[in-house]
């Protein structure tokens, strides 16, 4: 990749004004943490582009965002693991200042029962998804722009039956630091958020939580006595994209789950 020497990283006021008028693409924006990030960004005056695969869910997410007066939101149906689709989405949006990647899921099975090809797609998505997003976005983002990736607590507190997915999460954190160094000459920043249990459609499905009572019960054993909200989780991503002093950082947002 050829780079030109730029001026130092621009300074700017951090939240709440830093993101006002900026354009943020959220890959994985139609549900859970990504959708909550879209809502928060809309509320601080950012322009938001949601990217996800399912057009129906995307439309519902856009309706949710557009309920905020003055909201500027568009949706693009695309696969975030496909670099050419991400390029198309970026072209469609035009100027983009920050990219947040929340797309991803946990899949697995016990090691001895699960051949590699059964988990390849999930692992590929964790590695080549963010890699392709960074390749597509880096030439387009302005100085001070950022890429924020998503990691998970299972990396440091593994559970049985998810080894391949957890290895994929490890790759996300490795990419975060490597790309922060590589893209620094462009004055781009790369960070990640490592989430503990957050109440979203994904965690409800993975943890088998059928209703709010089950979610509340699941949270009782945690240090703060509950799961995190999607809004709490998303606000950490906004914090990282808004602050030009932060790059190469993996921020844990887990309600202390790493400790107990």
Please, where are the H alpha helices in 30-162? 32-43, 55-66, 83-93, 116-137
Distance CA 30, CA 230 (A): 12
Compute CA distances 152 → 4, 51, 165, whole Å: 34, 21, 10
- The residue from 148, 176, 200, 252 that contacts ligand NAP (CB under 6 A) is 200
Q: Which of 41, 99, 127, 198 binds ligand NAP (CB under 6 A)?
A: 198
Is 256 a binding residue for ligand NAP by CB under 6 A? The answer is no
Binding to ligand NAP by residue 104, rule CB under 6 A?
Answer: yes
Partnered with residue 194 across adjacent β-strands are: 151, 252
Sort 116 into a burial class: Cβ within 10 Å, 0-12 / 13-18 / 19+.
exposed
Rule CB under 6 A: choose which of 18, 79, 90, 141 binds ligand NAP.
79
Stated length of the chain: 260
Q: Is 32 in the site for ligand NAP (CB under 6 A)?
A: yes
* Pick from 211, 248, 237: nearest CA to 101: 237
Check binding of 192 to ligand NAP (CB under 6 A). no
Q: Which of 23, 24, 28, 163 binds ligand NAP (CB under 6 A)?
A: 28
Q: What is the Cα–Cα distance from 251 to 248, expressed in whole angstroms?
A: 10
Residues 108 to 127: which contact ligand NAP by CB under 6 A? 125
- Nearest residue to ligand NAP, using CB? 32
Question: Is 191 an interacting residue with respect to ligand NAP (CB under 6 A)?
Answer: no
Query: Which regions of 78-212 does DSSP assign to beta strands (E)?
Result: 98-101, 146-152, 189-195, 198-199
Task: Kindly tell me which residue out of 19, 33, 162, 241 binds ligand NAP, with binding defined by CB under 6 A.
Answer: 33
Residue of 13, 43, 105, 118 interacting with ligand NAP (CB under 6 A): 105
Q: 119-178: which residues touch ligand NAP (CB under 6 A)?
A: 125, 150, 152
Interface residues toward ligand NAP, by CB under 6 A: 27-34, 51-54, 57, 79-81, 102-106, 125, 150, 152, 195, 197-198, 200-203
């Amino acid at each position: 990749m050829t780079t030109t020497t730029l001026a130092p990283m621009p300074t700017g006021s951090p939240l709440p004004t830093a993101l006002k008028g900026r354009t943020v693409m959220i890959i994985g924006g139609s549900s859970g943490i990504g959708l909550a990030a879209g809502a928060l960004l809309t509320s601080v005056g950012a322009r938001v582009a949601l990217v996800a695969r399912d057009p129906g869910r995307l439309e519902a997410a856009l309706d949710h965002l557009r309920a905020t007066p003055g909201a500027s939101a568009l949706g693009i149906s695309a696969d975030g693991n496909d670099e050419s689709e991400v390029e198309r989405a970026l072209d469609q949006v035009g100027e983009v200042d920050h990219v947040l990647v929340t797309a991803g899921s946990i899949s697995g099975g016990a090691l001895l029962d699960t051949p590699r090809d059964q988990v390849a797609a999930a692992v590929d998505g964790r590695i080549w998804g963010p890699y392709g997003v960074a390749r597509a976005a880096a030439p387009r983002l302005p100085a001070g722009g950022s890429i924020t990736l998503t990691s998970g607590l299972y990396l440091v507190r593994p559970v049985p039956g998810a080894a391949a997915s957890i290895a994929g999460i490890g790759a996300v954190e490795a990419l975060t630091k490597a790309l922060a160094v590589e893209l620094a000459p462009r004055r781009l920043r790369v960070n990640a958020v490592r989430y503990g249990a957050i109440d979203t459609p994904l965690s409800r499905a993975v943890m088998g939580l059928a209703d709010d009572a089950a979610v509340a019960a699941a949270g009782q054993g945690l240090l703060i006595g509950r799961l995190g909200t999607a809004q709490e989780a998303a606000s950490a991503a906004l914090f990282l994209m808004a602050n030009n002093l932060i790059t190469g950082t993996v921020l844990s947002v887990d309600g202390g789950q790493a400790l107990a």
